Each structure stands twice: as structure tokens, then as C-alpha cells.
Structure 1
């Protein structure tokens, strides 16, 4: 599943680093903290490697 925004991609990259042990899990906040618990390394790698061109900085939520 590709990232839909730059912020989501950054969060996936931080979660991937924590999953690999390159970063402490206690440093994570918000979305990256929940991603490290709910997604496996393959899913995180796929989301973090999405091209950034044309992506919004943040995705607007629909209510």
C-alpha cells in the first residue's frame, strides 16, 4: 500500500527504522508508534519507499 502523503511516508520510515532496531521505539509518537505495532517490515518498506513527487505534505481528513 503506497503512502498518500509525505507525512505518512515519513512516519512509515520512522516506524521501519524502529522495527529494524536502528531507532528506539520509545522515541516514536503518533502514527509511527501505531504503525510499528500494526504493520510488518515489508508493509512499512513499501509505504516508506513511495515516490514523493506529487504528494501533498498532509492528507486532508474527511469527516
Structure 2
């Protein structure tokens, strides 16, 4: 399932980085922290790899 907004794509990217150990879990806030805890690495990859072109800034 692809991300539906730029904000969702960025949050997934941050959560994915934390899952991979590139950043600390404690650095996550808001949606990225929630995604880290509730989604698998594969699901996060699908969201994070979504192209930003044509996506709204925020989901309405």
C-alpha cells in the first residue's frame, strides 16, 4: 500500500530508519513513532518508497 501524502511518506521513512538502526527510536515523534511500533519493516518500505510527485502535503 503506497503512502497517500508527503507527510505519511516522510514518517514512514523515519520509522524505517529507526527499524534498521540508522537512528535511535527515542528520536521518533508522532506518526513515525506509532508506525515504528505497529508496522513491519516490509510495510514501512512500501510506504517510504512511494514517489512524492503528485502527493498532497497532508492527507485530508
Q: Could you list the runs of 4 or more consecutive aligned residues of structure 1 that deviate by over 6 angstroms after TM superposition?
A: none
Aligned length in residues: 60
Normalised by the length of structure 1, the TM-score is: 0.93
In 1, distance between residues paired with 2:12 and 2:37?
12
Give the equivalent residue in structure 2 for 1:33: 33
Q: Which structure has the greater CA radius of gyration?
A: 1
C-alpha RMSD of matched pairs (Å)? 0.5
Unaligned runs of 5+ in 1: none
